[in-house]
Amino acid sequence: MAAGLALALGQAPIDFPYLGLLAVPLLLSMLQGANGLRSGFAIGWFAGLAYFGVSISWIVEPFLVDIGRYGWMAPFALILMAAGLALFWGLAFMLAGRWMRGRLSDAVVLAGFWALAEVLRSIVFTGFPWALLAYGWVETPVIQLVSVVGPHGLGFLLVLASGLLLWRKGMGVAALIAVISVGFGVFQLNKPVEITPLTVRLVQPNAEQRQKWDPEFIPVFYQRLLDLSATGPQPDVVIWPEVAIAYLPDEDPGLRADIAIAAAAPVILGARRRDTQAVYNSLFVIDQNSTISGQYDKHHLVPFGEYMPLQGLANRLGLSGLADIVGGGMGSGKGPVVVQAGDVPAFLPLICYEAIFSRGLFTKTRPEWLVQVTNDAWFGKISGPYQHLAQARVRAIEQGLPLARAANTGISAMVDPYGRIIDSLPLGKAGKIDVVLPQALQPTVYARSGYWLAIIAIAALLGAQLTRLEWRRE
């Protein structure tokens, strides 16, 4: 558990991943001395329990917004979530323990099974790839490797290099991995970044979640958005956050006219949309003529937040999602799409939670930038918003694309294609920033190869190693 806690300190906002260089060898040493599969599972599970207990502690925050109805669920949510995610680590350690031989190959085996377990965590039950090991290195040059091998590939290399430190012979290989990782990152970060002529205004209204749907505050926050969009020199495009307004833009021409007049530029905003089937968490592009020139419906919904798994059973038990205001959950869009709307450069929209999924950024047409609209008021003020921003920055690095991020309560930011924050608005502050959009890079190796290539390579390397060990044993 101490090792798990040490690994968790790598995640934002602490951003100190170097203890992992001690934690991983400690866990590997314990695994080598484990007595059977059950013991190996326990080592991984307890490490995971501590790691996730700290790194996703923000998960209690949504239950505290309406504490009278949902507050009692908060401790159960954290304990059950951490314990459930730790099962993936327990499985990885149990399988790896079967192949421990007290040799350098042990580091390869643990790194392989651990990385594949994180892949499963990113996919099973719609996936929850929050706080992957690679994200702990977002403030270091090492994170640039995700542009080649992706987050799971980097996680594999981090565990491998750390595990090799158990052996004197392995230290040389570990040092080589470190030199290559840091050297590549420094090389990337020293490259110049071109800029486009497009000026983007990011608007942050700072609407507290407890007040956001209060009829008295709805017009207050709406007017704040209009005022922040209208002040200062005219930008080329304005971005409002997720569900920025309580109104329905596609059903209210007068509303669109007010927005177009105030901004005097195309406005990208989050709002709800409804049809005969469902209500959707959507993104709209409203142009200067007050028409909707682009639209996107969120496709990766938050379990228990925007929809309830096993809806029929949930209805019988009287349970509903935290953000469920329509009964029966929200509708899901058709998938990731590139939005092309008038003079606005083609962009890939990401609504809140969608930015944590690396595999959701691969589209047939490559966008010129990423746009994330989010409402991190759900995540509290301690760690959730900082971790969410860190993961969005990794998406920019993976694809070599700039990222514009408008967050309701912060942190709103413009991120360059190397994941560096050019300008930002802090957490819990209403305001706006005008910033020039950086130029996209050429497609990265990861963007060209796709989500699965690095994963297949890890599986193949692990399979070859296990075959070799079995052959030697026989």
Contact 132, 358 (CB under 8 A): no
Written as six digits, the tokens of 330 are 């929200």
Pick left, alpha or beta for residue 232 (phi over 0 → left; psi -120 to 50 → alpha; otherwise beta): left
Cβ partners under 8 Å of residue 335, min gap 6: 299
Pick left, alpha or beta for residue 420 (phi over 0 → left; psi -120 to 50 → alpha; otherwise beta): beta
Contact 313, 320 (CB under 8 A): no
Question: What letter represents residue 65's amino acid?
Answer: V
Write the secondary structure of 400-456 as one string of H (helix), E (strand) and C (coil): CCCEEEEECCCCEEEECCCCCEEEEECCCCCEEEEEEEECCCCCCHHHHHCHHHHHH
Cis ω for the linkage preceding 13 (within 30 of 0):
yes
Write the secondary structure of 229-244 as one string of H (helix), E (strand) and C (coil): HHCCCCCCEEECCCCC
| 242 included as an active-site residue | yes
Query: One of 306, 352, 368, 398 is an active-site residue; which one?
Result: 352
- Specify the 3-state DSSP secondary structure of 77: helix
> How far from chain centre, in Å, is Cα 7?
18
Q: Please work out, in degrees rounded to the nearest 5, the angle formed at the alpha carbon of residue 12 by the alpha carbons of 11 and 16.
A: 60
Cβ partners under 8 Å of residue 150, min gap 6: 358, 398, 446, 451, 454, 455
Determine the Cα–Cα distance for residues 339 and 11; give it in Å rounded to an integer.
32
| 470 included as an active-site residue | no
Query: One of 242, 306, 354, 398 is an active-site residue; which one?
Result: 242
Written as six digits, the tokens of 77 are 């949510």
Query: One of 298, 354, 368, 432 is an active-site residue; which one?
Result: 298
Contact 371, 363 (CB under 8 A): no
Q: How far, in Å, are 272, 351, 370 from residue 355 at the CA level? A: 19, 7, 10
**Of 349, 326, 336, the residue nearest 239 (C-alpha):** 349
Determine the Cα–Cα distance for residues 127 and 299; give it in Å rounded to an integer.
13
Judging by beta carbons within 10 Å of its beta carbon (0-12, 13-18, 19+), is residue 291 exposed, middle or buried?
A: middle
Cis ω for the linkage preceding 180 (within 30 of 0):
no
Q: Please work out, in degrees rounded to the nearest 5, the angle formed at the alpha carbon of residue 273 by the alpha carbons of 202 and 254.
A: 70
Cβ partners under 8 Å of residue 195, min gap 6: 436, 437, 438, 439
Kindly list the catalytic residues: 242, 298, 352
